Each structure stands twice: as C-alpha cells, then as structure tokens.
A and B are shown apart, each in its own frame.
Chain A
Amino acid sequence: MSNQAPRRVIPIKVEPPSSLSAAERSTVLEACARLKKLPGALLPILHAVQEALRFVPKDAVPLIAQELNLSVAEVHGVVTFYHYFLSERPGRHVVHFCRAEACQALGSVALEAHAKASLGVDFHGTTRDGAITLEPVYCLGNCALGPSLMIDEQLHGRITPERFDALMTQSRERT
C-alpha cells in the first residue's frame, strides 16, 4: 500500500468555471490589471466592469476575487451591498427614478405608478422589448426642479406623465 497512486498536481491558481464570453473575460481581467494596484481597488474595478459591460456578471465575481486575492464571498458581498451595481444585464437604457422626499412633494408617487404601469414593469425590471430597465434611486440632487429621473447619465427634471412617456419613446428610438 506504500505505492503507487500517481501524485496529483493541484494547481495553485484555479480558473473558476465561467460562462463569460472571451470578450467579457478579457474586459474584467483588463480592469483588474489596470486598477488592482490602487489602494481599495475593488470599487474602482467594479465601476470599470460595469462601465464596460453595463453590469457586473455573476461569473465576473470569482475572477475578480482571484485577481485581488479576496474570497468570492467578499466580492459578492460588496457587489450586492451597493444599489448601483447591477447583477443582471439591463435593458438598452437604464432609467433611475427618484423616490426621495423632495420629488414626492411634487407628485412623484403618482408618477411612479404611471411609470410602472406604462412600462409594464416594477422596479429592477426590464421592459419586454429589452429597451428600458427601471431602477429606483434615492436623490439625484435636483430637488428644486423635481420630479426627477436619470436616463443613463442624463438628468431630467420637472417630469410629468406626458414628459415621461415622451422620454421613453425617445429612448426606445435611440439604440
């Protein structure tokens, strides 16, 4: 019994199984390589990944963890702690709808109901045509000219149901 099972080589770096495309994988690795020397690099890396891919794919998490020498749980914990990071691929445009008090004072609660009904989605949902993802946001800093929302990175103030519909139509027309 002393011999002779062949010795298995356990690689130190295990590449986690992944459904990322080659392009997505190289985007994530490039972001890690570029930013991992920064002190507190995880948030900058997650921002870079989301900026490039529009979300942080679940399979990017083990890859980032490996690059930063963190546990998967630590990276998952950070991704899910922050509302801005999306774990699912969003629609072509992300609409951040302000739910905070100053917008409420100008009728955003009724506007929110209109938005959900007209898009046919709840918060965090994507319209069936894949055009729009509706996300809540707690203040856009446009509190004197509410109700407010942000489409991708463009802020819009003084939103009425009619203006909301017009903006959604315009967004759908843009690619």
Chain B
Amino acid sequence: MKIYVPRDAAALGVGADQTAEGIVAEARRRGIAIELIRNGSRGLLWLEPLVEVDVGGTRMAYGPVQAQDVAGLFDADFASGKPHALSHGATAKIPYLKKQERLTFARVGITDPRSLEDYKEHGGYRGLAAALTQKPADIVASVTASGLRGRGGAAFPAGIKWKTVLSTPGAQKYIVCNADEGDSGTFSDRMLMEGDPFVLIEGMTIAGLATGATQGYIYLRWEYPQAKAALEAAIAAAATAGFLGQNIQGSGKAFELEVRMGAGAYICGEETSLLESLEGKRGQVRFKPPLPAIEGLWGKPTVINNVITFASVPIIMDRGAEYYQHFGMGRSRGTLPMQLAGNIKQGGLVEIAFGMTLRELLYDFGGGSFSGRPIRAVQVGGPLGAYHPESQFDTPLDYEAFAAIKGMLGHGGIVAFDDSVDMAAQARYAMEFCAIESCGKCTPCRIGSTRGVEVIDRLIAGENSAQQEAILRDLCETLTYGSLCALGGLTPYPVISALNHFPQDFVKPSRASSAAG
C-alpha cells in the first residue's frame, strides 16, 4: 500500500509531519504494510495535508488530513479508495488540477523529490540528453525561439541573456539561480525546489552547456530550510550519478553546483545586489551597465535567472521550442505558475497558459475569499505590484496587458483582500517596506521611502490633504524616475494604485461623514 504525504513546507505548517507519523503508527498497529512517500505538494494548498493513496495505479486524494483523522481513514478502508468525509476522489480529476496546464510543474507532487530514479522515470534528464547532442548556439536558439521570458518578474527574454553570455569571451563564466523569492504572495520557487529539485539542476546544467559556464550557484533565501535540504540532497544524487561534475554523462563537459544562503534581505532578489551578496558583501545594487551577462559575478560573464525560468528549460529542450511556444498569448509565451494567496478560499499553485483573466483565477480556481466577504482589492506581482479594484478583474494574465493598466504580473503572485481592507494602510505599508528593505545606495529610495510614510500619515490625518496628496504624487514620480533599481522604482505602484482606485480610504471617516452630511 503506497501512501503519499507531502513534505512541502506549507503542508508541514499545517501538520503534515504529525499526519505522516500518525499513518505509520496506525498502519503498524493494524499490521498493514505501507510504503510512505514524502512527495512535494500538488499545489491544492487549502487541502493540505493532502494524503494520497495509490489504488491500482490511480491516486486518490484525502484532505485536509490531521493526525486525529488517520484512524477514521483506516476504518473507512481508504487503502481501497473507499469514500470518506475527507475524500476528493482521484487527485488528477479534481477540477482545480484538471483545468491546469502543468509543464514546469509536471512532476511536482507526483514524484519523490529525493529520488533521481523517479525523476528519470517521469521524463527527467531528457532535456539534458538533447542538449548534450547540440552546439551551444543551437541550445540558445531553442530557448530564444520558445519565447521564454524571465519568470522572476522583469520578463526579459531568457534567450537574449544567454546569447550575450555565450558571445562574451571569458575563461570563467557563471550560472546563478535567483532563488531569493521574497515577494509576498509567491511560493512557486519554493514549491518547485522542494517538490522537484532535479528539474532546476537540469535547467541550470543546460544553461552551463549553452554558454560555456562551468560553475553554478543557487542563491536561496534562509526562510526556505526545506528547499535547502531538498536541493542539497538532489545535488549530491546528481553528482553521484554523473549529472554534475567534471564529466557530465561522459561528454567531457563540466558543471558544478552549490547552494548559497541569503540572510533576509529583500533587495537581494535584485540581480546585481544578489551578485554582491554572493561575493560576500552587503547586498547593494550595482549600476548598470555593465550588464551581469558581460560583467557579473566576480566581474565574469554570468547568466542570472529565476528558479522557474531555469526549470522551464528542460521541457523546452525535450519537447522543442515550438511545443512550449504554442501556449500563451501575444508576446507572453508558455505557461506561468500563478500563486493564489491571501484572503482566498482555495489558495494554491495554478500553472496555466498566459491569457486567463484575473477574475477566472480568483473565482473559478480560488472560489472567492476565505472570509466569505466580497474581494475588494487584489495585489498582483508582489509588494511592488499594483492594487487592482474589481473593475480590472477582467484583465488577461499577460505581461503587456498588466503593463497597460499600470500593473505588473511579476513573479505571478496574487494576493486577495476582502472588503475589510484599509487601502491607505496598505499604501503606507508599501512605503514602510521600501524603507526597511532599501539597500541605501540611491537617495530617492533611501530617503523617499521614509518621507513617503510621513506624507501618507499626514494625508490620512487630514492635514491639508490636497497639498499632501500633491506632495505624495510628486515624491512617487521622483522614486519612479530617480531610483537605481526596481525597489524604489516600483514602490509607487502599490501606493499610487491604492490612491487612484480607493481614494475614499485616504479620507478620515469623520471628515468623510461630515462632507457627506
């Protein structure tokens, strides 16, 4: 009897370890032999801990299963897939999962993330095998043709970055994975690293072959200890099997990989700041140019991409650029793993082709708010993303469509708020966050963020509001055009969108009612 209980951090946060221990103990008590597999999460996070049982090759889902539910499940004979109050039928047929197009997350939640054999049985390392038969320029051409754009947030075409590194001469080049997933509302990198670490390793190895880089680093945030354990186990397994090292699969090509830990600095998700941090310094942003592709880590040509970007490469190499490219809309090709978060009933990971609307995601997948109250505002793209009112919910999920409404898709995080939200407080928090996390290099961000908090405080207090609003807008313009990187440059997004779409929240209640009366 094969039972799956996720080891994903989100599942552990709601008791998956206790559930797993309960299952082992109960099986022993009843004399039933079981094989327990600690998989990644299927991404249906509101059902965690989601326990699956293999019944004749079909995986049946039960969730959320707490330790105290385990005896009842055995009583109901869940080993044969029998119904139970927590039963959801076959996992693959749950609409939330069935409606998705999982390319990058194809194996997450399905395989055992500690097993290289399992990875290979599910199509793993086929992309690398294809890449090993090609010239570097051809690999780069495939990535370019696939239309893959950086999934970290900036959406820069990956192929162009790789081509620059390939064509820049250098005795030593580097591949750096940005796994400093600091945006609130996002967890796709974490889920992928915990649930399918080999696909990231494979993607980075292909990047090494494509550009002539022989050393890779994964810069991982300290907040993800489970991901660290998963990656280090996978790197060791890959090295033992000759998928990493000085002679990859007998090709004579070398690629080494190491995990490096961040230390709680949001700014280190900015690529040049991340490189500074990897070099052992304060994570201060660098001036650009030179681009990291030309002078990156220790001044050497460096490919720096997000986790999901690298993890999307193996399927492109395996199935072809055209296969990947046919998903999506406009200039946004392929799929984007969206993350439904915040005040949402069915939060989780939804990997779909670009083009679905925000409303479909919030209601068809998300099932509306967790609190049951109306969804009033949605922040898309992390703490630097805009707050969108209900009137913008029909916007398709597409980089350009969101840019057109002064927003951004970013890393695909969607945070829903119900009608109890105070948007002036959210705007103030955006400035406060910028002040806490600013690297301090440029003045608009370092000083402007603190001044922004003060101006919003005066605006909310109703001290000469019209003037304060003018000052705030002017300050935001300075931040937008005068900051060195996206932290200062995009902090105005949440601030101005809150002000534009929810102006009533910036008016003191007493003044609002007296104005109305």
Contact of B265 among A47, A81, A140, A141 (CB under 8 A): A81
Interface residues of B in 408-454 (CB under 8 A from A): 413, 415-418, 421, 425-426, 429, 433, 436-437, 439
In the complex, A40→B339 CA distance in Å? 33
The stretch of A6-14, A21-29, A150-158 in contact with B is A150-158
Q: Is the CB of B12 within 8 A of A154?
A: yes
Given A40-B279, A144-B344, verify A82-B339 contact (CB < 8 Å): no
Q: Is the CB of B415 within 8 A of A81?
A: no
Q: Using an 8 Å CB-CB cutoff, how does the interface string of A52-78 with B read, 1 for contact, 0 for none?
A: 000000000000000000000010011
Which residue of chain B has its CB nearest to the CB of A47?
A: B261
Contact of B283 among A81, A104, A140 (CB under 8 A): A81
In the complex, A43→B220 CA distance in Å? 12
A97 to chain B, nearest CB (A): 12
Contact of B379 among A39, A83, A101, A155 (CB under 8 A): A101
Count of B interface residues, CB-CB < 8 Å:
60
The stretch of B69-77, B80-88, B180-188 in contact with A is B180-188
Q: Is the CB of A141 within 8 A of B264?
A: no
A150 to chain B, nearest CB (A): 7
Residues on A with beta carbons closer than 8 Å to the beta carbon of B187: 141-144
> Taking the complex as formed, is B239 at the interface, i.e. its CB lies under 8 A from any CB of chain A?
no
Given A84-B263, A85-B263, verify A144-B343 contact (CB < 8 Å): no
Given A101-B379, A102-B185, A141-B224, verify A84-B341 contact (CB < 8 Å): no
Interface residues of A in 101-159 (CB under 8 A from B): 101-106, 109, 137-146, 148, 150, 153-158
> Taking the complex as formed, is B61 at the interface, i.e. its CB lies under 8 A from any CB of chain A?
no
Which residue of chain A has its CB nearest to the CB of B416?
A: A105
Q: Is the CB of B343 within 8 A of A105?
A: yes
Q: Is the CB of B426 within 8 A of A144?
A: no
> Taking the complex as formed, is A91 at the interface, i.e. its CB lies under 8 A from any CB of chain B?
no
In the complex, A42→B340 CA distance in Å? 37
Which residue of chain A has its CB nearest to the CB of B387?
A: A101
Q: Is the CB of B370 within 8 A of A106?
A: yes
In the complex, A138→B339 CA distance in Å? 17
Which residue of chain B has its CB nearest to the CB of A41?
A: B280
Q: Is the CB of A102 within 8 A of B263?
A: no
Q: Is the CB of A43 within 8 A of B223?
A: no
Residues on B with beta carbons closer than 8 Å to the beta carbon of A102: 184-185, 341-342, 413, 415
Given A100-B383, A153-B225, verify A138-B280 contact (CB < 8 Å): no
Q: List 28 A-B contacts (CB under 8 A).
A: A44-B260, A74-B281, A82-B283, A83-B265, A84-B263, A85-B264, A100-B383, A101-B185, A101-B383, A101-B426, A102-B341, A102-B342, A105-B421, A106-B342, A109-B425, A138-B264, A138-B433, A140-B9, A141-B190, A143-B342, A144-B45, A144-B341, A144-B348, A145-B45, A145-B46, A145-B347, A156-B13, A157-B13
Question: What 7 A-B pairs come out closest when comparing CB atoms?
Answer: A144-B347, A100-B184, A105-B342, A143-B341, A82-B263, A84-B264, A42-B280
